[in-house]
Amino acid sequence: MLDLAGVNPDSVVYDLGCGDGAVVVAAARHYGAKKVVGIEQSKRLCSIAIAKTKGLKNASIIEANYDDVDLSEASVVTLYQSASENARLKKKFLAELSEGTKIVSHDYGIPGWHPTQLSTFKDHRRGYRVLVYVIGSQLPSRPRVALG
């Protein structure tokens, strides 16, 4: 996911629903992102994520509903939510994210938006997809206008 998003030391990554913090740790430790913020509503998962990110100065975990967190500084947003949740998040993405921000979604697409990349992977358990969207280039193609 983070490879496809091109995460690098200039990246500001927000992980929406960070669970136990695996993506946050990878982005902060292995990709050396400038800043990584994981947001998780489950107290239990948050404590695991906080423990895992201890000592990582570029990572933080917020226990919150991500609806209530401003995403505007993100250059990359990662998420693993349902398609209906992704559809609901479109309004927030368009309101808060700047042009060029990448949204990287595990398995589920953002209904009505076109990914700029779609890759499939197989790990030891199962296959999964990663879809990349870029704010400013994700809207549906314009309908063709008949000339003459």
Ligand X SMILES: C[S@@+](CC[C@H](N)C(=O)[O-])C[C@H]1O[C@@H](n2cnc3c(N)ncnc32)[C@H](O)[C@@H]1O
Q: Which residues would be at the binding site for ligand X (CB under 6 A)? A: 15, 17-19, 22-23, 39-42, 45, 65-67, 80, 106
Q: Which residue number has the CB closest to ligand X?
A: 17
**Distant-in-sequence, close-in-space partners of 17: CB < 8 Å, separation ≥ 6:** 39, 40, 41, 66, 79, 80, 81
Backbone torsions φ then ψ of 127, nearest 5 degrees = -90, 150
Least distance (Å) from ligand X to the CB of residue 84? 12
| Residue 17 beta carbon to ligand X: minimum distance, rounded to whole angstroms | 2
Complex with ligand X: residue 70 or 139, whichever CB lies closer: 70
Report the relative pairing of strands 127-134 and 12-16 from DSSP bridges. unpaired
CB of 97 to ligand X, least distance (A): 17
Residue whose CB is less far from ligand X, 37 or 134: 37
In angstroms, rounded to a whole number, what is the distance separating the alpha carbons of residues 124 and 69? 35
